[in-house]
Amino acid sequence: MLLLHVDDARCFGTHDEIQRILQEVRKHVDIELMDHSDEYLGTAWDYNTEKRECTMHQKRYIEEVLQKFGMEDCKAGSVPLTEFHKAAPLAEPQQHPRYRELVGKLIYLLQTRPDLAYTVHVLARAAHANGREHFQLGMKVLRYLQGAKELGIKLMGERSEKDLRVRVVTDCSYGNQHDRKSTTGYLIYLGSSLIDWRSTKQSIVVTSSAAGELVAALQGADYALYVQKLTAELGVPQASGSIVLQTDSQVMMKALDRAADTKMSRHLHIRAERLRELVQQGFFELSYLPTGEMTADLLTKALPRATHWKHTRCLTTSTQERTARHLEEV
């Protein structure tokens, strides 16, 4: 596999596969080979070949962002966004001169920081109509990063193909205060490695939390199917069997069993039938995950400090002992 961005490239595969790729590329352009690189496009890759692990983090990039906004010596914050934040877009379109620049920098961090997904999602919604208060919320995110710049994600090698099973965890936060649309959050795992995540506002207004959970479950399910097909095309060996779909909504799971008999509106009924059909055909296996263990909750709302760090500890790893100790204490 060849990753290419402008004039920077990275190869993955066996030695023979990499040599074959390089031979083909050399037919068209001149290339310069570098020794084993530990950084690519601002993301550091720390390898542990004995444990078959790779940790991805953006510590150096975070330090550059802090310096750019004059926050390199700021006091560290405990959470990126408080529970009672006021980050809704302003009624009249206006722009803080540096707000979009800040949000763009934070968006680039999302490739290794699932703990920032909801916060950046909220801040980005105000990109067209923001003011001083929105910029101050962004500054609070930088203070949080000051105390958590070493966090990243860990990719782990599995012992056998049967462990390479796709799993999706979905959650929903019902009805925000701005336009009453719910927020979907989902996490995609390949084996024991977290490989993708998303926090997004739902496109429709639902009238119950179970309906919101249904919309979130189908959004996560559709993306999990895409991930399974993509990894299969890339030649990644996978375990046979269904994709595991985990949710903390027992009401939604029961509603799927009687979807044909419930009085749902048409758009929700179609979604329920679609998901139920995927389960019946063996593409998915529904699994209940208790609310206290629902890590996708981190992607749907601002959480209290203890809950935020509890879920962050499950989704991320630290490259520095100080932050690792902090995660253990929370």
- Give the residue from 149, 179, 196 where a domain finishes: 149
Number of domains forming the structure of the chain: 3
Residues 165, 144, single domain; the answer is no
298 domain-assigned? no
For residue 214, CA distances in Å to 17, 188, 218, 244, 287 come to 43, 17, 6, 15, 14
**What is the DSSP secondary-structure string of 273-322?**
HHHHHHHHTTSEEEEE--GGG-GGGGGTS---HHHHHHHHHHH-EESSHH
Residues 22, 76, single domain; the answer is no
More confident residue, 289 or 263: 289
Residues 174, 281, single domain; the answer is yes
pLDDT band at 328 (very low <50, low <70, confident <90, very high): very low
More confident residue, 312 or 272: 312
The CATH number of residue 245's host domain is 3.30.420.10
Ramachandran region of residue 57, left (φ > 0), alpha (ψ -120 to 50) or beta? beta
Residues 174, 145, single domain; the answer is no
Cα 187 to Cα 223: distance, rounded to the nearest angstrom: 10
Residues 118, 177, single domain; the answer is no
Cα 135 to Cα 126: distance, rounded to the nearest angstrom: 10
* Enclosing domain of residue 82: 59-149
175 domain-assigned? yes
Handedness of CA 198, 284, 166, 306 (dihedral sign): positive
pLDDT band at 259 (very low <50, low <70, confident <90, very high): low
Q: Considering only 15-19, 209-213, 283-287, which range has the smallest mean pLDDT?
A: 15-19
More confident residue, 208 or 4: 208
Cα 55 to Cα 155: distance, rounded to the nearest angstrom: 6
Cα 276 to Cα 2: distance, rounded to the nearest angstrom: 37
Residues 21, 106, single domain; the answer is no
Average pLDDT, the chain: 86
